Copies of this chain bind each other. A is one copy, B any other.
């Protein structure tokens, strides 16, 4: 089953647009999980078990694993989701981008080594840097369009051909890169007006939306700006707001509460 089919199914089955971001930072783990073998995997497993019926995706952020030489725990986390909760798509957040021959290796990293369903990709190097990802027809390629951070306006908002660069990215992806119908866009939660601009030109292409919670994006305007006609089209990702809802041993149950609240806050504005 393709990533897009999996996503459509789980949006419905779990009645959820929430994606839980797995950004495991050991400094923020509860004391009982520090200096424990496989702590990252154990932390992730608790979060996954506590939230799997409330989410439309899990999104491990590879930087948190590679900073700790924890590739094996990333693999274990992904395998755990695939064996226990196979309906939930996994997005590897790695924002790769390189020339074609190197991009092929990054596509192997994402889709053959880690075997995830989708991956985030930086478009700055242009089409041939995305093509090796796009050619995995069943997999999702999620191109950065308008990100949620403060520096995003340095380049993404600059005007080119009478439109902001992020709109140019969205247009090119929609018109030229989506030949396998497997492209998505990253559109941050912090600028709803920009999200509706992007929505107006890319049809039903799904958005990965970082920036709710810790980064401060409000739910109502972003859902209204980004949803598609059937009330889906969004993968709204929260990492720190969910996984560090508590720094005690109740972190998993607090993560569940935070995910439940986010799901229902979002669902208020979907219809």
Contact = CB atoms under 8 A, between A and B. Distances in A.
A128 to B, nearest CB: 4
A142 to B, nearest CB: 13
A165 interface: yes
Interface string A90-102: 0000011111111
Interface in A51-79: 61, 63-64, 66-67, 69, 71
Interface string A16-35: 00000001010000000000
Interface stretch (A36-44, A144-152, A246-254): A144-152
Contacts of A160: 158-160, 165
A216 interface: no
A160 B253 CA distance: 49
26 contacts: A23-B101, A23-B102, A61-B98, A63-B96, A63-B102, A64-B102, A66-B71, A66-B113, A67-B105, A67-B108, A69-B71, A95-B98, A99-B148, A99-B210, A99-B215, A123-B155, A124-B124, A125-B152, A126-B149, A126-B154, A127-B154, A128-B151, A129-B149, A155-B165, A158-B160, A158-B165
Contacts of A125: 144, 147, 149, 151-152, 156
Range class of the A interface residue count: 35 or more
A153 B126 contact: yes
